[in-house]
A and B are shown apart, each in its own frame.
Chain A
Amino acid sequence: MLNPDLVGRTFTSADSVTVTKEAIQKFAEVIGETNFDIAPPTFAISITLDKSQSLLQESGLDWTRVVHGDQRFEIKRPIIAGDILHCSSTIESARNMAGNEIVTVRSDLNAGSELVVSTWSTLVVRA
């Protein structure tokens, strides 16, 4: 059960992620993208999923029972190789539906003070 006091709180990762051309290429090749200069639209998830899981480790959320319900991206500018990104994750809402917990987590990737990509994941924690 998610600690309800954490709704609205933002957790920011202390360490940054440096995006490499190899990481973009590896992701792009899976989907048949041949442009390796900029990251494909959903590339941000490869950073935010891992980061938000660690940031929310103490939240009481049982990640082993989590099913991904939906996903949204707002891309201010594409991620490019060389970007040094910090992840901030906020539990935007948590509610109970038919015994399942529905949690919405927003994760922002920032390069310095510039917001690059925002992602929203709705996670369904099965009862």
Chain B
Amino acid sequence: MNKIETGAELASKTFTINRKLLVAYANASGDQNPIHQDEAFAKSVGLPDVIAHGMLTMALAGKYLSDIAGSQSVIEFSAKFIKPVVVPVDTEVSLIVSGKVTDVANGFAKIELLATCDETKVLGMAKGVIKL
């Protein structure tokens, strides 16, 4: 991990999302909405295919933040869900997360995150504050 100083670009990490992970997240989070598991249902409500839980994408971006200084260091985290992550059957979708340190003061660092799938930004205004 790079040094945490204002302007530092943090190395990217790739997370793999597949149907199995969606089921695991549904069971762990309690969000059993069928648009995240049932292809026929997802298509019946106008989606191209099954989509990942926005909160799964955010949880993975949260893991990126945790990896900087530990889960206990993350004190603020926010994001907008701007594009669905489509997860076709038998497909491994890559979520690439990278970060930039925008401010360091009084033992806290502000991190701006970029989360993309297929070069499309899936989270908007994704940012966190970590305690150093």
Contacts and interface: CB of A to CB of B under 8 A. Distances in A.
Interface in B27-75: 27-31, 54-56, 58-60, 62-63, 65-66, 70-72, 74-75
Contacts of B27: 26
Interface string A61-90: 000000111111111101000000000000
Would you call the interface of chain B mostly helix, strand, loop, or mixed? helix
B28 A30 contact: yes
Nearest to A78: B72
B78 interface: yes
B76 interface: yes
A14 to B, nearest CB: 19
A49 B55 CA distance: 11
A72 B62 CA distance: 11
A80 B95 CA distance: 28
Contacts of B25: 30
A74 B76 contact: yes
A56 B63 CA distance: 30
Contact of A40 (B24, B30, B59, B76): B59
Contacts of A26: 27-28
A73 B128 CA distance: 9
Contacts of A49: 29-31, 55
Interface string B64-98: 01100011101111111100000000000000000
A49 B29 CA distance: 9
Contacts of A29: 24, 28
A42 interface: yes
Interface in A9-61: 23, 26-27, 29-33, 35, 38-42, 45-46, 49-50
A32 B27 CA distance: 15
The 3 closest A-B pairs by CB, nearest first: A72-B78, A70-B80, A41-B62
15 contacts: A26-B27, A30-B21, A31-B59, A33-B63, A41-B128, A42-B77, A46-B28, A68-B55, A70-B81, A70-B124, A71-B81, A73-B76, A73-B78, A75-B75, A76-B75
Given A31-B15, A45-B55, 13 more contacts: A30-B25, A30-B56, A33-B71, A35-B66, A40-B66, A41-B59, A41-B128, A46-B30, A50-B30, A68-B54, A70-B79, A70-B80, A71-B54
